[in-house]
Amino acid sequence: MRVRNVFVIAGVLVLLFFTFIAGIGCGFLMSGDDAFSTGDKVAVLKVEDIILDDQPYIDSISKIKEDKKVKAVVVRINSPGGAVGPSQEIYSELKKLRKDMPVIASIGNVGASGGYYIACAAEKIFANPGTITGSIGVVAEFTSYEKLLEWAKVDVEVLKSGRYKDVGSPFREMTPEDREYMQGLIDNVYSQFKSAVAESRGLGAAEVDKVADGKIFTGEQAKGLKLIDETGTINDAIDLASKMAGIKGKPGLVYYPKKKSQFLELLESRLDIPGITSMPSKYSFGLFYLVDIIN
């Protein structure tokens, strides 16, 4: 009986091993990577959705630098923007990457506010004629529950160490001093955004001011305003990146950030590993390079 159990366990382990290997293989195939290409490659860094966490992108840039076969990078952007800090972090790391290889940006459906900020790190920016881009500006939104608490007859007592320690608190209305203080922060970060655009796009202060009022533009309009270089597809961006890198023939493509295979996602969902399958919200306050296109 014991021998039989040993064989059963061994059989299950072998089955799990081959299933695991098959899952990894399927992951490579579904990712679209030219994983087994031996020639020179172009890395495609996909910046998608609202930008709140820069770590996956920073890690990806580090891996791109380590891969000696990667000769150029195309940053594919489909994002309405996000938090200021992560947007600036990704922008800065891409600027550093340009010292090692060509970096080209390709904006898909939308690359606005923080998404556009990141695109400015590239040597050239492509966008479709109907792409939504621009929205150069900063926003901070605050909710006040003061009247609701009064209606519910709920008192909230706050102890603080300084006058501005609870600025933006939902438990009280902002004072004129609070608004002036927050506006100063917003204006400073707004100035940083405009400086990045001016430097990367070779525009004067007056030219930037003309387009930095929060408006969104189509890709066609953006080209006329010198916010992008060319209207074109991601393939056009890849072709230019390959040419600038001196790659002969069709390059292999490798995509970042790496996504888990469906097998691993299924395994984690079955195991219900804390901290992997459920992530708490970490961002409830901050300044944002973000466009609100659809309410």
Domain limits of the chain? 34-137+176-260+282-290
User: For the chain, what is the mean pLDDT?
Assistant: 84
Whether 113 is catalytic is yes
pLDDT at 189: 96
Q: What is the pTM of this model?
A: 0.79
Higher per-residue pLDDT: 94 or 274: 94
34-137+176-260+282-290 is classed CATH 3.90.226.10: yes
The closest of 255, 276, 292 to 63, measured between CA atoms, is 255
Whether 165 is catalytic is yes
Cα–Cα distance, 46 to 255 (Å, whole number):
7
pLDDT confidence tier of residue 159, bands split at 50, 70 and 90: confident
pLDDT confidence tier of residue 260, bands split at 50, 70 and 90: low
Indicate if the pLDDT at residue 269 is higher than 50: no
pLDDT at 8: 47
pLDDT at 35: 52
**64 burial type by CB count under 10 A (0-12 exposed, 13-18 middle, 19+ buried):** buried
Selected catalytic residue, list 113, 135, 169, 261: 113
pLDDT confidence tier of residue 287, bands split at 50, 70 and 90: confident
Cα–Cα distance, 268 to 264 (Å, whole number):
6
pLDDT confidence tier of residue 144, bands split at 50, 70 and 90: confident
Residues 97-105: what's their mean pLDDT? 97
Selected catalytic residue, list 96, 160, 165, 210: 165
pLDDT at 28: 45
Cα–Cα distance, 107 to 92 (Å, whole number):
18
Residues 40-53: what's their mean pLDDT? 96
